[in-house]
């Protein structure tokens, strides 16, 4: 039976959900006894805390993976941008490429500026070439 059906049945009882909750409490008391309730509550609390810690750890790992992927992606985009500007990328670190791209972007042709801006995701609606150059420099700084 779907969960929604149980809710409809509970709503039809006099007192609705309050009665169901009361019945659940009585059933727990009968099953475990009043002496075991504090221990049961502690166990549930610990389990809930472990579940939350586990969820937070999984979220942290996922964010870390995305951050690593983004870093690798930025390295690839930097190398493509440098090649478009005629920069030799062999054996150069990302920091060196950023510096050379920043130096050459001011003298680059208009079509190269637009292409590099797209490669580095440094675009803005309605941006002119000087604004694109600013956005590229800003993208290189991050």
Q: Tell me, what's the pLDDT at 104?
A: 87
pLDDT, greater one: 59 or 18: 59
- pTM exceeds 0.85: no
Write out pLDDT tens, residues 8-43: 665 565 566 777 788 888 888 888 887 887 888 888
Write out pLDDT tens, residues 96-141: 888 988 888 888 888 888 888 888 888 888 888 888 889 888 988 8
Q: Tell whether the model's pLDDT for residue 79 goes beyond 90.
A: no
Query: How far is Cα 118 from Cα 28, in angstroms, rounded to an integer?
Result: 62
CA distances from 18 to 33, 50, 76, 102 (A): 21, 29, 60, 67
| 124 φ/ψ angles, rounded to the nearest 5 degrees | -150, 140
Helix axes 94-104, 17-84, angle to 10 degrees: 60
Q: Tell me, what's the pLDDT at 15?
A: 62
What mean pLDDT is reported for the chain? 82
Q: Tell me, what's the pLDDT at 46?
A: 93
């Amino acid at each position: 039976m779907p969960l929604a059906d149980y809710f409809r049945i509970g709503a039809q009882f006099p007192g609705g959900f309050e009665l169901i909750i009361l019945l659940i409490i009585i059933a727990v008391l009968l099953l475990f006894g009043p002496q075991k309730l504090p221990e049961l509550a502690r166990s549930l609390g610990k389990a809930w805390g472990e579940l939350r810690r586990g969820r937070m750890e999984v979220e942290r790992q996922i964010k870390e993976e995305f951050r690593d992927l983004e870093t690798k992606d930025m390295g690839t985009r930097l190398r493509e941008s440098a090649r478009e500007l005629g920069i030799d990328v062999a054996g150069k670190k990302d920091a060196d490429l950023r510096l050379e791209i920043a130096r050459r972007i001011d003298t680059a042709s208009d079509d190269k500026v637009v292409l590099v801006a797209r490669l580095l995701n440094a675009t803005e609606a309605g941006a002119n070439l000087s604004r694109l150059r600013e956005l590229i420099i800003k993208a290189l700084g991050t």
